[in-house]
Amino acid sequence: MRMTFVLPALLAATSYSVALAAEQPQTLALPQALQRTLQHDATLQAFPYQLRMAEAQQLQATIKPNPELDISLENVLGTGDNRGLNAAELTLSLSQHIELGEKRERRVELAQRQSQLQRDNYELARLDALAATTLQYVELLRLQHLQQWAVEKLSREQALLATAELRSQAGNLLDADISRIKLRLLRSQINLADIQQTMESRRYRLAARWNAEPDFSVVTGDLAILPQLPALSSLQQQLQQSAALQRYITLHQVADSQLRLTEANSQADIRISAGLRRNQANNDNALVFGFSIPLTLTDPNEGRRLAQAEDQVLLARQQQLAASELALLVKQQWLNLQHLRDTIQAINTLLLPEAKKLRQTSLNSYQQGQLDLLSLLSAEEELAQAEHDLIQSQSRFHLTLLELERLTGLPMTLTTTVPGAALEQSYE
């Protein structure tokens, strides 16, 4: 079963169009990035060849043994009556190897299941490649939000410096306080430069997912869009359809086919022949027939059969452990998402409004000479930290959602475009 990789909901909600991207190549949307990955990812490029090789193996498995032509010449170039070709015996015969035990059917079955295993491997590699690209995309989007945050923070600090300089001119502020604000402003400028440099590096890391130079300057998306999650019970019920567990099922089928082929190969084949013999000395012709079968006094594949049977037991155990681990990981990620949603809502509805209120109140009091500079700077830092925490929590939400999609191979459907702060809580 082919699993569908669905983008994180923050990106599905953006108002981007492919036509607009063609006109503005400096902007990149996630569907574009994923399409480029599918077309140019180095790992995925190998799978079409591997699939064609598997198809060739299926063709090879259908080939039957060819008949053999046997020519023998006896009693020639001897002495006496056997001088020259006087007593020559010429035998011309055709022989055919006949496979018993449905060997051909077992080979075809094994080749078909190995071909399916290649398709399962491709699906896993495809999901991993798309997840890796989306990870780089979300990280770049987070940096873009942090850049905007740093610019706004810098703007507020510049306004604060202007206010402080007015008070300093009036003799109401020490030069040390002006220096303190300037130092904070310099740190913010350095931080902004660091973010911009990291963004440039991340652009190249994203473009490397499809082996190209970046032809875009920004990516589109909104971290504030949070999708509603499926119920945990629904996710766990559908885990058996995940690409990872489907591959275990195919591995078990391959092992079963290998065992059945080994059992078929343990059954002896026969060879029959028919031909014509010419006796030159007597001027006689005669038909000859032959039949041969190996005497399998012992099973030539006994050890191989036992090893393959144990391999089946091992695969069954590995599948059981993988299913259990997958269920636990899915539950962990689902709970993490619920916690992150609560955190984001708390920041949006409680922490951020209170920090904005504190900052504005402190600024008003400072302008009226009722508050010292350190208290105002502390209020400014509280607001900046709250905004920073919101961006970080939103990006962690989408990265966790991405991991949940990778584990399950299931879409996390966007049911609303209302920002996360306004979403109602939806628990199982």
pLDDT above 90 as % of the chain: 61
Residue 87 within any structural domain of the chain: no
According to the model, what pLDDT value does residue 169 have?
Answer: 72
Give the C-alpha separation, 384 to 248, whole Å: 49
Give the C-alpha separation, 16 to 34, whole Å: 15
Find where tokens 């053999």 sit.
Answer: 68
According to the model, what pLDDT value does residue 173 have?
Answer: 65
Residue 31 within any structural domain of the chain: yes
According to the model, what pLDDT value does residue 285 have?
Answer: 87
Residue 410 within any structural domain of the chain: yes
Residue whose C-alpha is closest to residue 277's, from 269, 287, 267: 287
- CATH code of residue 321: 1.20.1600.10
Residue whose C-alpha is closest to residue 75's, from 257, 281, 368: 281
Residue 3 within any structural domain of the chain: no
Could you list the residue range(s) of the whole structural domain that residue 362 is in?
9-64+99-266+301-422
**Phi, psi (deg, nearest 5) at residue 99:** -80, 135
Give the C-alpha separation, 220 to 387, whole Å: 20
Alpha-carbon torsion 375, 380, 383, 388, what sign?
Answer: negative
Residue 296 within any structural domain of the chain: no
Question: Model confidence over 157-188: pLDDT tens digits?
Answer: 999 888 888 777 766 667 787 888 899 999 99
Looking at residue 268, what DSSP letter applies?
A: P
Please, what is the end-to-end C-alpha distance for the chain in angstroms?
A: 28
Give me the number of domains the chain comprises: 1
**Phi, psi (deg, nearest 5) at residue 277:** -120, 135
Residue 290 within any structural domain of the chain: no
What type of residue sits at position 22? A
Average pLDDT of the chain is 85
Name the token pair of 384. 């900046």
Residue 1 within any structural domain of the chain: no
Question: Model confidence over 183-199: pLDDT tens digits?
Answer: 999 999 999 999 999 99
According to the model, what pLDDT value does residue 68 have?
Answer: 93
According to the model, what pLDDT value does residue 37 have?
Answer: 94
Question: Model confidence over 255-308: pLDDT tens digits?
Answer: 999 999 999 988 888 999 999 988 877 788 889 999 998 888 888 888 999 999
Residue 261 within any structural domain of the chain: yes
Q: Is the pLDDT of residue 230 over 50?
A: yes
According to the model, what pLDDT value does residue 78 have?
Answer: 67
pLDDT band for 412, please (50, 70, 90 cuts). Answer: low
Give the C-alpha separation, 310 to 333, whole Å: 34
Inter-residue contact 69 to 254 (CB < 8 Å) = no
Question: Model confidence over 133-149: pLDDT tens digits?
Answer: 999 999 999 999 999 99
Question: Model confidence over 322-348: pLDDT tens digits?
Answer: 999 999 999 999 999 999 999 999 999
Q: Is the pLDDT of residue 11 over 60?
A: no
According to the model, what pLDDT value does residue 80 have?
Answer: 66
Selected residue with higher pLDDT from 16 and 149? 149
